[in-house]
Amino acid sequence: MRRSRRWKWVAALLLVVALGLAGGGVWWLSDKPLSPEERVFVGRWSQPITVAKPNDGRAVYQFNSDRTFRFRAVGSDGQPVPGELAGRWAAADGVLVITYEAQPWLGPADRFRRFVRGQSGLRSERLTVVTADAIGLRLVGAGGNTLTLTPAPGE
């Protein structure tokens, strides 16, 4: 009985150490300075989208210097459209990778069930960078879809 309890404590301690190392690794990676290639992305970018009728809204992409990312749609009246996404981003070797939670509206119970099933709920998009400068970003997705972004007007 005593040996079993000792193994549980050892396993718990190893788990805590592993989680601490993983968390420290994530912190260290996120604390690295932006590369010159990444600095171009920092800021708010937008493109026209269709909410109810063609080009009656815009998609706003916010790339922050801490590599966090936020996407939201805004209607022609300036009001946000439900369905904001948030995540992380990185750029290297002509590729922009955006990682975000696929269903951020799920409650804690649903997220826990997804975790137990081994489903992370994270989604990654890899976009090839065609052009990236102060005038705009032109990106191509896996399916060949082109995304053309210009600096977002102030809100």
CB atoms within 10 A of CB 69: 19
In terms of phi and psi (left: phi > 0; alpha: psi -120 to 50; beta: otherwise), the region of 41 is: alpha
- What pTM was computed for the model? 0.66
Choices 3.40.30.10, 1.10.3720.10, 2.40.128.280, 2.60.40.10: CATH for 36-151: 2.40.128.280
Here the tokens at position 145 are 């879809």
CB-based contacts of 5, cutoff 8 Å, min separation 6: none
Distance CA 75, CA 83 (A): 12
Task: Residue 134: name the closest of 39, 22, 34 by CA.
Answer: 39
Name the band, by pLDDT with cuts 50, 70 and 90, for residue 34.
Answer: very high
Would you kindly state where each structural domain of the chain is located, as residue ranges? 1-32, 36-151
Name the band, by pLDDT with cuts 50, 70 and 90, for residue 94.
Answer: very high
- What amino acid occupies position 32? K
pLDDT in tens, 128-145: 898 888 888 898 988 888
